[in-house]
Amino acid sequence: MATIYTHSDANIRKTWFLMTAFLIVVILIGYAFSWYFESSVILYVAVAFAVLMNVFSYWYSDKIVIKMTKARPISRESHREVWNLVENLSITAGLPMPSLYIVDDPAPNAFATGRNPEHAVVAVTTGILALLDRTELEGVLAHELSHIGNRDMLVSTVAVVLVGFVAILADIFLRMTFFGRGGGNSRDGRLQLIFLVVGIFAAILAPIAARLIHLAISRKREFLADASGALLTRYPEGLASALIKISEFGKPMKVTSHATAHLFIANPFGAEEKGFKSKMNKLFSTHPDVSERVAALRGT
């Protein structure tokens, strides 16, 4: 039977795979640099960089996202209803009480982040508190706690950091290939051309790879969190109604980016578009259609 911990172990394995892949890629790039420029120091720097970035992204992922979204902490005294709802749901789910934050934004939305349940964060916007009633808000908060229980917010947050650094490395590679002189006369000109082509492809494919990772870790986990949240509250209609209200708001958030968009319960860039453009955007969206999520919750 499904529980709040469904796929937790699988998502932990995905996180370690992602971090290991990042380490290998950076070392390979560092090796290519050191061989091309005949300097072993570059390889040592690349290894140190990869290790430090893995540690940094794991331990400080929640702080990075909070900083990017300009969220601020709240207390029981300042937001009693939200605090009580999260506290009761955490007890029901068998999870530690997460830190609570609020984003000053009229657009209704929410997200969860953090490396594990003991260091988790749940954030809501001022807009979602104004728009939803108690049962709808409870459904949203249960959805976010499900992300924490399923451990899928860790792989999502780590992906934001690691993929970003891979893109930076690709750009550095491209620039060094353009302007570097390599090992002098000992290198054939065709070799420099090969590295130039590789650098160009790396710079082009890095953002595409980032987008594909976002897609892979976002859509399926939203359906899973919806189901786990409904299981937690025993009232799927609350979340279904909340998703409809959020989608009908239409306006984008004031502070958001494509790097953090997949963390939110709904697309932070606003209402879904219609027609051909909607079909194209659906291919690259980090969120499933609201209509599909509502239908799944209602069993229709």
Q: What are the catalytic residues?
A: 144
Distance CA 120, CA 118 (A): 6
CA-nearest of 15, 112, 24, 25 to 58 is 15
